[in-house]
């Protein structure tokens, strides 16, 4: 499916309709040769078509629409939708009490005019970055589908719903990579905002302190448009910066030491393209720095400083200095000695009592 801005422009010009977009999305979901059966756990076909027709009618009347008016979206299976249980990719919650209201983010998407076509599959309880689900199946990554590559997780269905044209934006959650991993695996953009930016009310938690809610979409601009709705903040235009003058630090040893050969070649190709677009490459100890803003002397100073830091770290790892006792450790040692003396005193008293008997 095309980027959000393109869809909105086509809708405004009358080149397509919300109903046409939703029908196309539903057709891809229902296609038995595709990934719809493992990508969605629930599909809201009738409601989505009804909402699409209302959006088209409002547009014909000239009524102002929301920032995502008529755009098909998907939501992860851990968001509440009124009237049904929230199962979070599991089977043990199928009989849970139905949600009384939509999650705040789902309600916000609807208020912005977005049309929710269904709930997407996920790793059970969001507890993995692979995207596997033994209960509802695992949607395959769009890359090398014949082999059956994993899509990444836990927002697996959210990613595949976008790559396969079943939604323009997929709503996911991210605790340790559950938006970013499937986005990377499936060739999309995934945005993880700060945890407090988007309300988590009505979302089944993995971590109440680390969970955040973010979109997966074809472009950065799509994610920005969705995030503005989710966070209830104004939309800001996305500026494309020139590559020349940017600086990139590429870890060399940590990432590359056990990397898969195919992944390594892809990373090396990307690094080489960045180097050509950005500027010179400087070999630092364990680090490649791509920059057009460092002079030769600055580069040598960086290499020297990095080598010194690496040497200090290596020395600390090989021969760590003995810890100096702190007041806390001294106090705890004294308490242990007092406890030992008290224990001995109690033992003596018990001996005397037994002797008197």
Q: Which residue has the tokens 């090398």?
A: 144
The residues near 183 (Cβ < 8 Å, ≥ 6 apart) are 152, 159, 189, 190, 216
Strands 72-76 and 115-120 turn out to be: parallel
Handedness of CA 300, 301, 307, 311 (dihedral sign): positive
| Residue 127, helix vs strand vs coil | coil
| Residue that is written with structure tokens 């100096």 in the block | 324
Confirm if 207 and 189 have CB atoms less than 8 A apart: no
The answer to whether the CB of 211 falls within 8 A of the CB of 116 is no
Q: Is 178 a catalytic residue?
A: yes
How many residues would you count in the chain?
A: 357
Known catalytic residue at 76: yes
Q: Is it true that the peptide bond before 51 is cis, omega within 30 degrees of 0?
A: no
Is 154 in the active site? yes
- The catalytically annotated residue of 74, 178, 212, 231 is 178
Contact 29, 40 (CB under 8 A): yes
Q: How far apart are the first and last CA of the chain?
A: 92
> From the candidates 128, 154, 155, 212, which is the catalytic residue?
154
Which of the following is catalytic: 17, 76, 128, 141?
76
- Catalytic (active-site) positions: 76, 154, 178
């Amino acid at each position: 499916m095309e980027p959000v801005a393109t869809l909105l422009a086509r809708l405004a010009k009358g080149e397509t309709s919300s109903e046409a977009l939703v029908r196309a999305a539903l057709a891809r979901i229902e296609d038995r040769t595709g990934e719809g059966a493992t990508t969605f756990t629930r599909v809201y076909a009738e409601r989505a078509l009804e909402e699409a027709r209302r959006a088209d009618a409002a547009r014909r009347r000239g009524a102002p629409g929301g920032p995502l008016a008529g755009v098909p979206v998907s939501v992860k299976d851990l968001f509440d939708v009124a009237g049904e249980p929230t199962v979070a990719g599991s089977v043990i919650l199928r009989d849970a009490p139905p949600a009384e209201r939509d999650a705040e983010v789902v309600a916000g998407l609807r208020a912005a005019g977005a049309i929710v076509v269904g709930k997407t599959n996920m790793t059970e309880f969001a507890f993995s970055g692979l995207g596997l689900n033994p209960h509802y199946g695992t949607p395959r990554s769009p890359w090398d589908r014949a082999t059956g590559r994993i899509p990444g997780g836990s927002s697996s269905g959210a990613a595949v719903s976008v790559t396969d044209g079943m939604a323009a934006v997929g709503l996911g959650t991210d605790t340790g990579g559950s938006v970013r991993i499937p986005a990377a695996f499936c060739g999309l953009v995934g945005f993880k905002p700060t945890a407090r930016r988007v309300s988590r009310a009505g979302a089944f938690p993995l971590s109440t302190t680390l969970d955040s809610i973010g979109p997966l979409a074809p472009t950065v601009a799509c994610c920005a448009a969705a995030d503005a709705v989710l966070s209830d903040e104004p939309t800001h235009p996305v500026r494309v910066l020139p590559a020349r003058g940017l600086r990139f630090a590429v870890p060399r040893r940590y990432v590359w030491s056990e990397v898969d050969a195919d992944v390594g070649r892809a990373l090396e190709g990307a690094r080489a393209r960045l180097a050509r677009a950005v500027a010179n490459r400087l070999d630092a100890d364990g680090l490649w720095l791509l920059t057009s803003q460092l002079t030769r002397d600055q580069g040598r100073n960086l290499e020297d400083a990095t080598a010194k830091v690496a040497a200090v770290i290596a020395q600390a790892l090989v021969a760590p200095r003995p810890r100096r006792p702190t007041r806390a450790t001294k106090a705890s040692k004294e308490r242990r000695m007092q406890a030992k003396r008290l224990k001995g005193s109690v033992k003596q008293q018990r001996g005397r009592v037994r002797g008197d008997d």
